[in-house]
Amino acid sequence: MPSIILEIKNQIGYISLNRPEKYNAFNREMALELQACLDECASNEYVRCILITGMGKAFCAGQDLGEVTGEQPATFDKILVEHYNPIITRIRNLLKPIVCAVNGVAAGAGANIALCCDIVVAHESASFIQAFSKIGLIPDSGGTYFLPRLIGFQKASALMMLGDKISATEAAQMGMIYKVFSETEYADALMKITTTLAQMPTLAFGLTKKALNHTFENNLEQQLQLEDKLQYAAAHTDDYQEGVSAFIEKRNPNFKGK
């Protein structure tokens, strides 16, 4: 079985982390496969929304610790530079909406890969652990970038040092994730979110991601200039024409993602 499953249907790329017996912990093969699947979703014009989730009970337990403790452990340098950093930059630079559905525990790099996605939702049984301190490491995979920006410096700092297990409900309450769904709501909610996104103006989403990717570095003037440039691009899409026409004609828009 592949350690990552990619299924494309109804204009949605479904990416499933698939090492359930290891709680979907990442080894090198799996990290490279995830990068390849993200590339496929980026270049495949049919795909207009991506959903990342985990098979089995867990979402992802981060690095497969067996891989870093064996006879020929992968070097740390290689792991960040070749495995996790390219995953995070791909997710942020992929100009389509990426939903992460956290189905169970998300620990270490697994938590931080989830947190860099555009919309993070969770099953009520999910949890988030900055597990790094428990094994003497620092948070990586963008954790020190995204978590303080999501929940504030103080809470991020505490979670990173204490390695507390945060429930999905707490995560939603502190702004770490978008929403948590009960077992009965979960499947329908995922379907609704992804189907809606896949029918919306895809190019405008890509431009929105570009704007959001710079929001924490730019000053107001720079961000206003960036919005101006990106809005100009959005205004030259077919979907903008369609959106305005549909409004004037009092009908639902039929966006094509072009």
**Distance separating alpha carbons of residues 165 and 107, to the nearest angstrom:** 9
DSSP secondary structure code for residue 75 in this structure: P
H or E stretch covering 245: helix 238-248
Q: 248: which residues sit within 8 A by CB, 6+ positions away?
A: none
The residue within the footprint of ligand LHQ, chosen from 33, 64, 118, 239 (CB under 6 A), is: 64
Q: Could you say whether residue 14 binds ligand LHQ (CB under 6 A)?
A: no
Of these, 25, 50, 113, 207, which contacts ligand LHQ (CB under 6 A)?
A: 25
In angstroms, what is the C-alpha Rg of the chain?
Answer: 19
Cβ distance to ligand LHQ smaller for residue 18 or 231: 18
In 3D space, the residue among 218, 208, 217, 201 whose CA is nearest the CA of residue 257 turns out to be: 201
Candidates 3, 17, 22, 234; binder of ligand LHQ (CB under 6 A) is 22
Q: Which of 2, 10, 70, 76 binds ligand LHQ (CB under 6 A)?
A: 76
Could you tell me whether strands 12-17 and 49-54 are parallel, antiparallel, or unpaired per DSSP bridges? parallel
Our CB check for ligand LHQ shows the closer of 82 and 185 to be 82
Answer yes or no whether residue 70 interacts with ligand LHQ by CB under 6 A. no
Binding span for ligand LHQ by CB under 6 A among 38-46, 103-111, 173-181, 240-248: 103-111
Q: Which is nearer to ligand LHQ, 38 or 105 (CB)?
A: 105
Interaction of residue 240 with ligand LHQ, rule CB under 6 A: no
Q: Is 206 in the site for ligand LHQ (CB under 6 A)?
A: no
42: Cβ contacts below 8 Å, ≥ 6 apart: 90, 94, 95, 96
Joined tokens for residue 163: 């390695």
Closest distance of CB 70 from ligand LHQ, Å: 11
CA distance 192 to 14: 14
DSSP 55-124: SSS-SB-SB-TTTTTSSSPPPHHHIIIIIIHHHHHHHHH-SS-EEEEE-SEEETHHHHHHHTSSEEEEET
Q: Which positions from 104 through 163 interact with ligand LHQ, judged by CB under 6 A?
A: 105, 107-109, 129, 131-132, 135, 137, 140
Residue 23 binds ligand LHQ (CB under 6 A): yes
| Residue with Cβ nearer ligand LHQ (36 or 81) | 81
Residue 34 contacts ligand LHQ per CB under 6 A: no
Asked whether position 233 contacts ligand LHQ by CB under 6 A, the answer is no
Please tell me the distance from the alpha carbon of residue 151 to that of residue 145, in angstroms, as a whole number.
Answer: 11
What is the contact surface with ligand LHQ in residues (CB under 6 A)? Answer: 22-23, 25, 61-66, 68, 76, 79-80, 105, 107-109, 129, 131-132, 135, 137, 140
